[in-house]
Amino acid sequence: MPVTRRKFIRIGAASAGGMVLGGGLVSDWYGLDAPRLTDPATDGDRIVPTFCEICFWKCGVLAHVKQGRVTKLTGHPDHPLSRGRLCPRGAGGTGLLYDPDRLKKPLVRTGRRGEETFREASWEEALDRIAGEMDRLRRDYGPQSMALFQHGYGSSWFTHLFRAYGSPNIAAPSYAQCRGPREVGFQLTFGDGVLSPERVDMERADCIVLIGSHLGENMHNTQVRDFARAVGRGATVIVVDPRFSVAAGKADHWLPIKPGTDIALLLSWMNVLIEEGLYDRSTVENFTTGFDQLRAHVAGKTPEWAYARTGIRPELIRATARKIGAAKPAAVIHPGRRVTWYGDDTQRTRAIAILTALTGSWGRAGGYLLPTAMKVPKYPYAPYPAPDAPAADRAKPSDFPMADATLASGLCAATIPGSSAYGAKGWMVYGTNLPLTLPEPERVEAALQEAEFIVAIDVLPAEICGWADVVLPEATYLERADDIDAPAYREPYAALRQEVVSPLHDSKPGWWIAKEIANRLDLASFFPWKDVDEYVDARLSAAGIDRREIREKGVVLGPRTPCTYEEGIAPEFGTESGKIELYSAALAAAGFDPIPEFRPPEEPPAGYFRLLIGRSPVHTFGRTTNNRLLSEVCDENEVWVAASAARELGIASGERVVLVNQDGVEEGPVKVKATERIRTDCVFLTHGFGHRAKALSFARGRGADDARLMTRVSVDPIMGGTGMNVNFVTLKRV
Ligand SMILES: Nc1nc2c(c(=O)[nH]1)N[C@H]1C(S)=C(S)[C@@H](COP(=O)(O)OP(=O)(O)OC[C@H]3O[C@@H](n4cnc5c(=O)[nH]c(N)nc54)[C@H](O)[C@@H]3O)O[C@H]1N2
Ligand SMILES: Nc1nc2c(c(=O)[nH]1)N[C@H]1C(S)=C(S)[C@@H](COP(=O)(O)OP(=O)(O)OC[C@H]3O[C@@H](n4cnc5c(=O)[nH]c(N)nc54)[C@H](O)[C@@H]3O)O[C@H]1N2
Ligand code: SF4
Ligand SMILES: [Mo]
């Protein structure tokens, strides 16, 4: 694909300088100044509208096809999440479709678990084997003994299969290793979660506060563009990060906080807003409970108090609090997305939620929106059987009382005999690469050895496949149709994923795989449709959506619904009290702090740095690091170290080092980036590199894998999230 490639590299080169949001590049990357594309030129024979799966944002894509090959991917002009542009990862999606390392045939293991030795098998043999094992496990231990680990849009078929089969053990690492604590923190406060796409209205905010949340490196398309537009409009931007992130480079104020002390900063901001009368009185008076307790709680938590804990100067804390107060209610304190940091994460996001309540920005323009989804009724299946047992992710039902989804880390632990929950005996793993995305690698490996049966459904020979008994090659998102996407967003819409080109190799779409397994397990009645088109048509007609129109356009927009109180939505809160709970009686009753308290994190031992992690702007986790197109821009990660600390260690920028953690685990070698852009007490690594899987011929051995170094976690006692920023490393020269 010569044309695509050259053009792509030109775009991608912009990121090499780190100035992702800089001047003219903003327009170049995001088309901020470009008119909406109505008739995109194609160098192909046809254009098929669909949506992206290179990350979980799900932007609308126009796939240009020439002589049966996808030649380029452009942003769908009418899809609300792409508005005519893709992020660089989405534009490089053909690098996955045409990856020479793709899984091509079903595989059956021939050697020992983890050795990655397989023989090719027919679909018939592979599916019979999977159904045979699932049937045996169902008879021997009950259907709850099978666990489904899943992530990504195609997983809906497998979730459905598992519900029909009768297992409650369905989990994704995007909960307990990602945004679970945030959803729980906001639920406890407002009776509603943050959702994905996040309900933040940066487009209209006068003040944006980012805590971690490294937009510009975290490259969710529309969100970054909203942020870039706000910067262009002159909105006040406050970035709290131990590292001078890309977003910090665009900020009015950078607060280089001591890692793990954000709750202290948040409490002192509340202190200033309350003491100086800068909070939104009408919100507090009409819609909250517990203001008096909150006022008393933060009374002594002045900027001077916070300075001693966070390292942020009191004047800076006061000045930023005043800016937040001046911009209210159009001040948005971004909730972050991967919030699993220190194990106090539900409390930290609750502190963000409480601050949001004080600014009155919930339900207001420039704050947190109240979006609605287009109504697309579910397929009218018969009811699922009620599972015979609760999920196996918690040793006792009283563990993590506020968890509102199953914990992937918990299901993994439950696979190891001796854990007090009943055991998970079999695993189906769809679209999640657990060896790189679950912490505590020793435990993950033990579970992978203990499971009686593992099937992995993937597009690439990722690490997880090396542990499976059977590996199934799924068709990529450009080769298959999936369920309808209709999330809550400020513009309601329904989007279709459609087959752009027929599946390459011997890969098959997920809907077909799930249906074939169901047929072999006497569950055919749960898959009454002939194929995905018949299923989608049934839902479309129930929703009153013209199926020809949506197939032609890829997306249909619903009528714009009100998203704010100003537009007429009545304030309603799904909490116990029916109000915004500044003080949480539910937390108090469960033995937790009803208002967030600051507790200092453990300090790094002498000579060690805290290991912080984040995203590369041109990669999604480890799933794109084998993508040759994207790797033209970035093909390994670097460990960021403060220049002064590197000097002290006698390590030069560009040198390779091995990272050694507090438990003696080594990882690397990895290149050093000595920089002024990070505090001296921590180092920073982007996630998704350091692959070990033999068959990932490009990504293997490039850079370092952060998960190997996460031998410790700090588990959030409220909901079971695994805080991962609690590991420390030293740098060893090689
Ligand atoms: N390009 C790209 N974009 C992505 C993804 C991807 O893989 N690639 N993944 C998507 C997904 S699923 C997620 S969850 C999000 C994750 O993206 P975010 O939600 O933005 O992730 P965070 O972990 O909050 O952000 C990491 C930042 O937090 C800073 N940090 C670390 N410790 C602390 C601390 O104690 N206090 C403060 N204030 N800051 C700290 C780090 O220096 C770093 O800049 O990104 C999404 N966007
Ligand atoms: N150490 C560490 N752990 C983390 C994080 C971190 O930063 N560091 N981040 C956390 C966060 S925020 C999240 S959201 C999770 C994400 O964790 P995961 O959901 O595990 O994400 P990926 O690593 O992208 O794994 C996706 C897998 O799906 C495969 N895949 C890609 N497309 C398809 C498809 O269309 N069909 C199928 N069947 N498979 C496909 C890929 O090849 C890959 O093997 O990880 C969490 N865990
Ligand atoms: S943000 Fe990028 S990778 Fe994610 S769905 Fe959109 S275009 Fe695809
Ligand atoms: Mo995530």
Q: Beta partners for 103?
A: none
Q: What is the pLDDT of residues 280-320, one digit of tens each?
A: 999 999 999 999 999 999 999 999 999 999 999 999 999 99
707: Cβ contacts below 8 Å, ≥ 6 apart: 435, 436, 437, 438, 439, 441, 687
Name the residue type at position 136: R
Q: Are 688 and 677 in contact (CB under 8 A)?
A: no
Q: Give the residue extent of every domain in the chain.
A: 1-34, 107-176+391-475+508-543, 185-369, 609-733
Q: Which amino acids bring their CB within 6 angstroms of ligand 3?
A: 52, 54-55, 57-59, 86-87, 89-90, 219-221
From ligand 1's centre to the CA of 686, what distance in Å?
9
Q: Is the distance from the beta carbon of residue 622 to the nearest atom of ligand 1 less than 6 Å?
A: no
Structure confidence at residue 328 (pLDDT): 98
Q: Beta partners for 697?
A: none
Q: Are 496 and 142 in contact (CB under 8 A)?
A: no
> Is the bond preceding residue 669 a cis peptide, omega within 30 degrees?
yes
Torsion of CA 532, 533, 535, 539, to 10 degrees: 130
The angle formed by the CA atoms of residues 73, 76 and 78, to the nearest 5 degrees, is 175
Q: Is the distance from the beta carbon of residue 311 to the nearest atom of ligand 1 less than 6 Å?
A: no
Name which CATH class applies to 609-733. mainly beta
Question: Measured between alpha carbons, how far apart are the two ends of the chain, in Å?
Answer: 39
Q: Which atom of ligand 3 is nearest to the CA of 620?
A: 3
What is the rounded distance in angstroms from the CA atom of residue 461 to the CA atom of residue 697? 10
Ligand showing the shortest atom-to-Cα distance for residue 154: 2
Structure confidence at residue 40 (pLDDT): 58
Domain 185-369 is found in CATH 3.40.228.10: yes
Q: Are 293 and 377 in contact (CB under 8 A)?
A: no
Q: Are 581 and 293 in contact (CB under 8 A)?
A: no
Phi-psi region of 327 (alpha: psi -120 to 50; beta: other; left: phi over 0): alpha
Structure confidence at residue 30 (pLDDT): 42
517: Cβ contacts below 8 Å, ≥ 6 apart: 127, 130, 131, 134, 161
Helices 345-359 and 180-190 pack at an angle, to 10 degrees, of: 40
**CA 147 → CA 392, 415, 426, 445, 540, distances in Å?**
9, 9, 6, 16, 31
From ligand 3's centre to the CA of 2, what distance in Å?
22
Q: What is the pLDDT of residues 668-707, one digit of tens each?
A: 999 999 999 999 999 999 999 999 999 999 999 999 999 9
**CA 337 → CA 303, 446, 537, distances in Å?**
26, 29, 34
Q: How many CB atoms lie within 10 A of CB 669?
A: 19
522: Cβ contacts below 8 Å, ≥ 6 apart: none
- List the beta strands (DSSP E) in 60-145: 60-66, 69-75, 107-109, 118-120
Structure confidence at residue 498 (pLDDT): 98
Q: What is the pLDDT of residues 318-371, one digit of tens each?
A: 999 999 999 999 999 999 999 999 999 999 999 999 999 999 999 999 999 999
Residue 138 C-alpha from the chain's centroid? 32
Q: Which of 76, 175, 132 is nearest to 555 (CA)?
A: 76
Q: How many CB atoms lie within 10 A of CB 142?
A: 16
Q: Are 105 and 120 in contact (CB under 8 A)?
A: yes
Structure confidence at residue 3 (pLDDT): 34
Ligand showing the shortest atom-to-Cα distance for residue 617: 1
Structure confidence at residue 41 (pLDDT): 64
Q: Which of 87, 17, 23, 79 is nearest to 49 (CA)?
A: 79
609: Cβ contacts below 8 Å, ≥ 6 apart: 641, 645, 681, 682, 683, 728, 729, 730, 731
φ/ψ of 620, rounded to 5, equals -110, 110
Q: Beta partners for 210?
A: 239
What is the rounded distance in angstroms from the CA atom of residue 261 to the CA atom of residue 704? 27
Q: Which atom of ligand 3 is nearest to the CA of 51?
A: 5
Structure confidence at residue 454 (pLDDT): 98
Pocket probe for ligand 2: among 459, 507, 627, 661, the residue whose CB has the most ligand atoms within 8 Å is 459
Q: What is the pLDDT of residues 99-153, one digit of tens each?
A: 999 999 999 999 999 999 999 999 999 999 999 999 999 999 999 999 999 999 9
**CA 692 → CA 236, 421, 625, distances in Å?**
43, 32, 12
Q: Are 730 and 607 in contact (CB under 8 A)?
A: yes
* Continuous H helices in 505-571: 510-520, 532-543, 547-553
Q: Residue with structure tokens 């579910």?
A: 378
Structure confidence at residue 44 (pLDDT): 75
The helix or strand, by DSSP H or E, that contains position 48, with its residue range, turns out to be strand 46-51
pLDDT beneath 70: ranges in the chain: 1-43
Q: Which amino acids bring their CB within 6 angstroms of ligand 2?
A: 53, 151-152, 154, 173-174, 177-178, 338, 430-433, 436-437, 457-460, 462, 474, 476-477, 613, 620-623, 687, 706-707, 710
Q: Is the distance from the beta carbon of residue 554 to the nearest atom of ligand 1 less than 6 Å?
A: no
Name the residue type at position 598: F
Ligand showing the shortest atom-to-Cα distance for residue 513: 2
Q: Beta partners for 51?
A: 60
* Continuous H helices in 544-602: 547-553, 585-589
The fold for domain 107-176+391-475+508-543 equals Rossmann fold (3.40.50)
Structure confidence at residue 18 (pLDDT): 34
Residue 720 C-alpha from the chain's centroid? 17
Q: Give me the count of residues in the chain.
A: 734
Ligand showing the shortest atom-to-Cα distance for residue 239: 1
